[in-house]
A and B are shown apart, each in its own frame.
Chain A
């Protein structure tokens, strides 16, 4: 029991179960449907994949505000490539490549020039958003989806989750293994906990940071491909504010914004919890402002409880 309590993801999991149960009791006839669960898992995919990258960044002591812009840029790049007649795989890889390069470039500024991650990604947030709008001629781009749309849309009437859901799970598992069982993962934690000590111990801090931001870029790109799959248009104005949703998921999942702590599983639970609130509010017919207050409250309660838990653990 004590071991369970010590897990980062345990608190968020309890919150998820409680919130889910509340909606289930209030709206048993609609909230309990398999179709609702399917819709919710689909709607979590984009935030979840981006949150995997953000967990790495936050554990390393950084922050990434450019996720939303990166997702929008990727959706535009994918649409552009499809319009030019390229296949879905080329389009998806092209989108991911652009996002990865942007991430790595930001990482290089953070690592080599010792610029603050907040400032660097605040800049790239605006640059990438502008680039997306420019590339798209300030319009949504209608593109033939060529099968990419099936990544996040289940066949009508089918209850089998679309590929994107499995993709998100695979990404989360791989990243969790990367963090827990590889030298790179230990280095990420070391850099985030205490950069000077890590450097003294011979951790290649610069390379670790560039790696972390490049991976986060890649995952933002993947999230962008899935965003395109959902929208079926390249939309330069999409995902405004996504970065905050992603950071909220990671924080609800037990990560510390001062670095060195965080859990992929926790972030996944955090992302799903926010979708549950969103969907539950729709089923209850609650107005949007109530939903926003509830989501904010959950963020405060989750991180507040985490503080208390850690306080009692150390005393």
Chain B
């Protein structure tokens, strides 16, 4: 939700159209969407890096959350506009390739963050190692279930590389326990909490979760985790099944405290946004940068929730 300050700023920009063409570097940051909590933390990190380096950060995602074509259009617009650099979280590892090539051909460097892109045109790739993060969740759930039981995976969305890697990492780790069977792994929650909730409800009833048909659940991002949590709460099953989710929001953390969620794997979205912009600035100012920058992941349970390093990720210093 926009703050009042943003609103005033926007009106100010509309009315007077503040400064343009000054000497500061302009860096466009293109997320996959703008309404998830996750992207808000990324935004805060990007802004902080922008402030520290004294560059202008333009934050612009696709109008519809997760719309591939609109994201391509945004990148094309920034290319035509001639910003100094583009920082992009591609919705498809292939489809954004041509637009990135176009930007690089127009002498605009591109840093990819959050999700990978095929090809070698981009300067650097800044992200969590998603497969490793998925394994982290798989190992923990296997342990929490005592090595036996029935597990459900609610996938996120067709064609999203970062979540697909988490799902694969999770399955890889969970399948090491021979006592655990994965009873469903082909359902997709879709882009919104609403669609994830509906799919979760159907999934839970299809697998007879109320009568012990499911012991553990994995969800690969914020919207699927929250959708599943709501479905569990509605069915009166929250806390009875072990839900291992991804990402954090106030509601998810509250549910973790209440024991309704077994564990959350946290990426550090603030750090992802921060490092992505920092990397771009370093590149633009002539410092060599690494091709691959890992921003790390952390498994959070009720036990380590209050530790300082977890709290730093949950409430980033801004």
A and B associate: yes
Q: Which residues of B contact A43 (CB under 8 A)?
A: 73, 76
Contact with B along A272-315 (1 / 0, CB 8 A): 00000011001111111111100000000000000000000000
Cβ–Cβ contact B98 & A287, under 8 A: no
> Could you mark each residue 26-50 of chain A with 1 if its beta carbon is under 8 Å from any beta carbon of chain B, else 0?
1101100101101100110010000
Query: Are A227 and B69 within 8 A (Cβ)?
Result: yes
Say yes or no: A140 contacts B95, CB within 8 Å.
Answer: yes
**Inter-chain contacts of A227 with B (CB < 8 A):** 69
- Classify chain B's interface size: 35 or more
A156–B186 Cα distance when bound, in Å, is 40
Across the interface, name the chain A residue whose C-beta is closest to B73: A43
Partner of B10, one of A36, A133, A142, A287: A287
Contact yes or no, A241 B13, CB < 8 A:
no
The stretch among A96-104, A165-173, A230-238, A252-260 that forms the contact with chain B is A230-238
In the complex the two chains form, what is the Cα distance from A239 to B10 in whole Å? 29
Q: Are A283 and B67 in contact, with the CB atoms below 8 A?
A: no
CA distance A236 to B92 in the complex (A): 13
| Complex interface: chain B residues within 8 A of A30 (CB) | 80-82
- Residue from B10, B13, B78, B98 with most neighbouring chain A CB atoms (10 Å): B98
- Total A-B contacts with CB atoms under 8 angstroms apart: 117
Residue of B nearest to A28 (CB): B20
Q: How far is the CA of A149 from the CA of B2 in the complex (A)?
A: 38
- Whether A149 contacts B64 by the Cβ 8 Å rule is no
Asked if A240 is at the interface (CB within 8 A of a chain B CB), the reply is yes
CB contacts under 8 Å to A, within B95-117, are 95, 97-98, 101-102, 105-106
CB contact list, B16-47 vs A, under 8 A: 17, 20-21, 34
| Interface flag for A153 (CB, 8 Å) | yes
- For chain B, residues 73 to 87, give those with C-beta under 8 angstroms from any C-beta of chain A: 73-74, 76-82
Q: What is the distance, in angstroms, from A26's C-beta to the closest C-beta of chain B?
A: 5
In the complex, which of the residues B13, B21, B68, B102 contacts A235, with contact meaning CB atoms closer than 8 Å? Answer: B68
Counting chain A CB atoms within 10 Å of each CB, the highest count among B6, B60, B76 belongs to: B76
- Within the complex, what minimum Cβ distance (angstroms) separates A4 from chain B? 31
Given contact pairs A36-B80, A232-B94, a sample of 10 additional A-B residue pairs in the complex whose CB atoms are under 8 Å apart: A29-B21, A35-B79, A35-B80, A36-B77, A39-B76, A43-B73, A138-B186, A142-B94, A156-B106, A231-B68
Contact surface of A with B, Cβ cutoff 8 Å: 26-27, 29-30, 33, 35-36, 38-39, 42-43, 46, 133, 136, 138-140, 142, 149, 153, 156-157, 227, 230-233, 235-241, 278-279, 282-292
**22 A-B residue contacts at CB 8 Å?**
A27-B20, A35-B82, A36-B80, A133-B158, A138-B158, A138-B186, A138-B188, A140-B92, A140-B94, A156-B101, A230-B69, A231-B72, A233-B95, A237-B68, A237-B158, A278-B63, A285-B13, A285-B60, A286-B10, A287-B2, A287-B59, A288-B34
A-B CB proximity, top 6 nearest: A140-B159, A156-B105, A35-B80, A282-B77, A39-B80, A30-B81
